[in-house]
Amino acid sequence: MAAQANPLATGRPVFVVDGSRTPFLRARGRPGPFAASDLALQAGRSLMLRQPFGPEDFDQVILGCVMAGPHEVNIARVVALRLGCGQRVPAFTVQRNCASGLQALDCAAQDIAAGRSELVLAGGTEAMSHAPVLFSEAMVKWLAGFSRARSAGARLRATAAFRPAFLKPVIGLLCGLTDPIVELNMGQTAEVLAHRFGIDRKTMDAFALRSHRRLAQAVDDGHLDEIEPLYDTRGHCYERDDGLREDSSADKLARLKPVFDKPFGKVTAGNSAQITDGAAWLILASAQAVEKYRLPVLGRIVDSQWAALDPAQMGLGPVHAMAPIMHRHQLASDDVDQWEINEAFAAQVLACLEAWKDSRYCREELGLESAFDPIEEERLNVDGGAVAIGHPVGASGARIVLHLLRTLERTDGRRGMASLCIGGGQGGAMLVERTGA
Amino acid sequence: MNGERKDRDLYTVLDEEGIAWLHFDKRDSGTNVLSAQVLEAFYEELLRLEQDPPRGLVILSDKPNGFIAGADVREFTRLETHDQALAAIESGQAVFDRLAALPFPTVALIHGFCLGGGLELALACRYRVARDDPATRLGLPEVRLGIHPGFGGSVRLTALIGPLAAMDLMLSGRSVDGRTARRLGLVDHVQPQRHLHTAARALVLDPPFRHRPGKLAALGNHRWARPLLARVLRRKVGRKARRDHYPAPWSLIDLWQQHADDERAMLHAEAGSVADLIMGPTAQNLIRVFLLQERLKSLGRTSDFRPARVHVVGAGVMGGDIAAWCALRGLRVTLSDQSPERIAPAIGRAATLFRRRLKRRRPIQEAMDRLIPDHRGLGVEHADVVIEAIFEDADAKRALYRELEPRMGREAVLATNTSSIPLQELRSALQDPARLVGLHFFNPVAKMQLVEVVRDRDTDATVVNRAIGFTRRIDRLPLPVTSTPGFLVNRILMPYLLEAVELESEGVPAVEIDRQALDFGMPMGPIELADRVGLDICLHVAGILGEHLGTEVPTRLRQLVESGRLGRKSGEGFYRYRRGQALKPAVPREHRDNPDVGDRMILRMLNEAVACLHQGVVEDGDLLDAGMVYGTGFAPFRGGPLHYIETSGADTLLQRLQQLEKRYGERFHPDVGWETIIGFGDQPPHNPESGA
């Protein structure tokens, strides 16, 4: 296996001391009340209120974001300045599609392990409802030609070349969710997995329903106290993930039509992650920083792994990323107390669970001698996942690591694994551990 | 050379290209003002330049805060006769005429404040360059002092940018930033600091035609257009200021209408008009009020307290608006309440305020980012100032202080925005009882400049000083008052409001009551004011004050509140409201004027003012007057209630009060304080009306 030189394994310990996130707000077909930087700012501002140090004490700020708006291309720097980190705290934005938030944590952890940073603010943000709507390339070319036309005749000719079809907008979000190499959109990759592992519609819908039920229960039980309310400029506040459908039922889910492979597919809006706006932050610290500011420790980032595979089967990414970590630490499925596997699609998580315990898959695709023991349902996404909460692509990685640590704290567990599949055919995983347990 | 510069108000440096750079740098002052002395020095400098002409002249300021802030207002108060005033104005005009007549290019290089006489000087230059930043403000605010531009400003501005834009600036007294000034044609270039000098040099070395108003804008100055335009302007002014109360804007319109095609005649008339105005009671009183404002501002200077973070508890109308105001003024604010839903409306209101005040995207965003909703109340620990603005309940407040105090920094100020509960009742909950101070804001916070800084014998003097420093930091006017019921402003206002309610219940139409108050010069009638404040709140405050001061609460007020008519917020109080606007019925035809109506309201207010002065609620009469003007809008052109008593004759007013007592009962019983005032009255009072 590669990655023996991971500084997380050899370097200084990396602690997570605190974190918070915004409620995840479902995109409703028009730009939501918050831009991506607003989301990150508000989550960060509330988080900083309870810290014994100021935003200017960070060594750097790292933010994951897939589609930062044209006004905030290095969105991490914009948010750092808006947060009051001051001019001297460097900040950069990372992009690894659906795992951008996890990538931010990994970068921060590597830097701390390597001794380059003591205290880092890392997380992810995404305002998917603000994804740009673009001019088509034909339109852009026509505009360029028109603006070069000087004489009246040239202008007339340029005008005559115009075709109404040029006005057809390009929906940035759809482009982003389509793999340009295998020319499948993300939903179709889930269909591929459903077919390969024989996952039927009913099982997917049952999984989706469980996600909603678990989230509803978690809300009732107060398991989501990492959420900090958002406030808009019209005097409204948002305190909860609004993708939750408390009235969801197997019947209702069964009535939905497939959206990606019409009309025979099985992946519906109901058993897929929701298009959502949201942000999440974690504060990562070295032992030195923990001591200096007397910070409470939520847990330790023990290891991380990135893996790549066939883009058409990107949904299996978590299996490929988690396996090497299990191997390095000689862990059996049972040794991990809590799992968070991001629910891009119900079919995709179910496929991961199948592959995980499938000896042929493990042997042929992962080069392992045998399969893993199944991951227990009661230890996986215990408070619901992206099907109910939503999946603001840049933010989800940070959200699941944060929630994993909170869950371990609440259940007095020790080890936790967070993992996401990544559009384009990758997987990312992170192993955390509560030091006190 | 530096040593020499220090004891001069201005100096000139000639550069290698032959451009003379004339620097204004007034001695012993942080701000350039055009005192008589400075003007004289400037005149001499101009004569020297005439003798030995440079290639061009650039006029600039060495003061970081701005170019020239205007004339020296204090000198206005020393003018004794009309002739003196006229002479002073004409000599100022002569200086600027000289400047305007220089045969080489002249440029005013403007940064920061460029107001009044400062802008008139710039207007006498051939060109103007302004710095492109929010701190640069150009304007002619003279009307706010009851006069209008007198150093040729009205002549040159109307000629430069056309009468409509010029009159708008002069009649409103508002100031504009560099970009707006460029759009109006007031300046030739608006540039960032890094290009200012280059721009000025370019204008001198390669002088373009000087700016002219557009054809349409210039048309307004035409003989035929003026009467029509003047009528429009008068109608506009009439909506804001009555000629008998505020003559200056009206005089300005007259002046322009009569003389706009003859520069000499207009300059002459301008000087005469300003001399008339400046000796009149309105200008004298407005200047007085301006100087009182300066005095309130200077109260904060003794404090070296530099608060950066404020925590406000209670996101209701007052708390929320105080928090928004502090964020607007650059402080980092945490705003807490019991739940996010309670905080959210305050954030919405703040966004509206920021949009209106800041206009541009990034400053609005910055202000929003500084205002942090904090439903867990975590901001207390980092705050330099903690302001409690929860509902008026002593127990609740005490419980809150018990929770706040251990979490606050030792140096942090703990302030209450209570309007009615004495500090004595509240501080018992504190480990360090001396640290509690009152900061009583007025509604609406963004409009009312006054903040009563409430203290009593037991309040730590350092804390009071910090509270005053904080008030200045957020650009409000601090008025130290004692912690007696109603403090100053509400206590004096309340008898006036209650008398209005009494009149209304006697059958005097509400509109008529309000009209009488407006005639006196109040910004809003008492009935409408009561409706706006909320009748339930009036009743509450009146009840508390009544307990302490023995005043009766009119039953009419109680009835209205009980029937759910709470004023504007409930859609109906004394008036009915549609979309927040009072629907005022006409005065019934059978109504007959009763001269007692106005006097009853005003005299009760004056009587209470006398009582407050006598009881030492504020340190002196000037502070009391300032408080009433900035806290209630008490007719500024009358110079404040005590000044009004002084100028209209304390004897006469006292007799009238005694008359009213006989007719209407004990609530008109003159306070013992009148004796002291009449005592003062034996000496010749400072009476500006006699000068007119």
A233 vs B348, B372, B374: nearest CB: B348
The answer to whether residues A309 and A316 touch, using CB atoms and an 8 Å cutoff, is yes
Rounded-to-5 percentages of helix, strand, coil across chain A: 45, 20, 35
Low-confidence ranges of chain A (pLDDT < 70): 1-5, 436-437
Out of A240-254, B497-511, B534-548, B607-621, pick the least confident: B534-548
What pTM was estimated for this model as a whole?
0.92
State residue A85's pLDDT score.
97
Find the largest Cα–Cα distance for chain B. 83
Which range is most confident: B145-154, B413-422, B681-690?
Answer: B145-154
* Angle (nearest 5°) at CA A354 between A352 and A359: 110
> Which of A18, A49, A228 has the most B C-beta neighbours within 10 Å, making it the best mutation to test the interface with B?
A49
What is the token pair recorded at A272?
Answer: 């897929």
Distance CA(A386)–CA(A389), nearest Å, equals 5
Average pLDDT of span B629-652: 94
Answer whether residue B211 shows pLDDT above 60: yes
Out of A230-239, A408-417, B5-14, B404-413, pick the least confident: B5-14
pLDDT in tens, B551-573: 888 899 999 999 999 999 899 99
State residue A102's pLDDT score.
98
Answer whether residue B684 shows pLDDT above 80: no
The beta strand positions in B483-626, using DSSP E, are 576-578, 581-583
What is the token pair recorded at B292?
Answer: 């009182």
State residue B6's pLDDT score.
65
Q: How would residue B692 be classed by pLDDT, with cut points 50, 70 and 90?
A: very low
Instruction: Please tell me if residue B311 touches chain A, with a CB cutoff of 8 Å.
Output: no
Residue % of chain B over a pLDDT of 90: 84
State residue A436's pLDDT score.
60
Instruction: Number of helices (H) and strands (E) in chain A: give both, helices first.
Output: 16, 16
A50 vs B348, B351, B378: nearest CB: B378
- Of residues B431 and B682, the one with the higher pLDDT is B431
Answer whether residue B301 shows pLDDT above 90: no
**β-bridge partners, B335:** B312, B373
To the query of whether residue A352 is one of the catalytic residues in this protein, the response is no
**Cβ within 8 Å, pair B340-A235:** no
Question: Which chain B residues have a beta carbon less than 8 Å from that of A49?
Answer: 334, 372, 374, 376, 378-379
ipTM: 0.93
Q: How many residues does chain B have?
A: 692
CA distances from B486 to A200, B313, B387 (A): 75, 22, 19
pLDDT in tens, B67-121: 999 999 889 889 999 999 999 999 999 999 999 999 999 999 999 999 999 999 9
Residue of chain A with shortest Cα separation from B352: A233
Nearest CA distance, B556 vs chain A (angstrom)? 36
What is the token pair recorded at A124?
Answer: 């992810």
State residue B556's pLDDT score.
92
Distance CA(B449)–CA(A222), nearest Å, equals 45
Catalytic residue among B120, B270, B528, B646: B120
Nearest CA distance, B382 vs chain A (angstrom)? 9
Every domain of chain B and the residues it spans:
2-279, 490-616+649-681
Question: Which chain A residues have a beta carbon less than 8 Å from that of B334?
Answer: 49
Question: Which chain A residues have a beta carbon less than 8 Å from that of B365?
Answer: 82
Answer whether residue B681 shows pLDDT above 60: no
Catalytic residue among A98, A107, A352, A362: A98
Rounded to 5 degrees, φ, ψ at B135 are -75, -20
Distance CA(A262)–CA(A189), nearest Å, equals 14
- Run of H or E including B580: none
Antiparallel, parallel or unpaired: β A25-26 and A276-285: antiparallel
The answer to whether residues A426 and A307 touch, using CB atoms and an 8 Å cutoff, is yes
State residue B683's pLDDT score.
46
CATH classification for the domain delimited by B2-279, as one of 3.40.50.300, 3.90.226.10, 3.20.20.70, 3.40.50.970: 3.90.226.10
pLDDT in tens, B307-330: 999 999 999 999 999 999 999 999
Taking chain B, what is the end-to-end CA distance rounded to the nearest angstrom?
A: 47
Nearest CA distance, A293 vs chain B (angstrom)? 15
Count Cα neighbours of B615 within 13 Å in the Cβ-side half-sphere.
18
A49 vs B341, B345, B372: nearest CB: B372
Find the largest Cα–Cα distance for chain A. 79
A235 vs B344, B368, B369: nearest CB: B344
Residues sharing a CB contact under 8 Å with residue B282, sequence separation 6 or more, in sequence order:
B146, B245, B246, B247, B248, B637
Of B524, A230, B249, A137, which Cα lies nearest the Cα of B257?
B249
Pairs of residues, one from chain A and one from chain B, whose beta carbons lie less than 8 Å apart: 51
To the query of whether residue A362 is one of the catalytic residues in this protein, the response is no
Q: How would residue B593 be classed by pLDDT, with cut points 50, 70 and 90?
A: confident
Distance CA(A230)–CA(A37), nearest Å, equals 12
State residue B5's pLDDT score.
64
Rounded to 5 degrees, φ, ψ at B617 are -65, -35
Of A3, A14, A4, which Cα lies nearest the Cα of A286?
A14
Q: Which fold, B490-616+649-681?
A: N-(1-d-carboxylethyl)-l-norvaline Dehydrogenase; domain 2 (1.10.1040)
Interface of A with B (CB under 8 A): 41, 45-46, 49-50, 82-84, 229, 231-237, 239
Question: Which chain A residues have a beta carbon less than 8 Å from that of B373?
Answer: 229, 231, 237
Distance CA(A266)–CA(A208), nearest Å, equals 13
A235 vs B349, B369, B376: nearest CB: B349
Of B627, B657, B625, B655, which Cα lies nearest the Cα of B641?
B625
Handedness of CA B495, B499, B501, B505 (dihedral sign): positive
CB count in 10 Å sphere of residue B150: 28
State residue B4's pLDDT score.
58
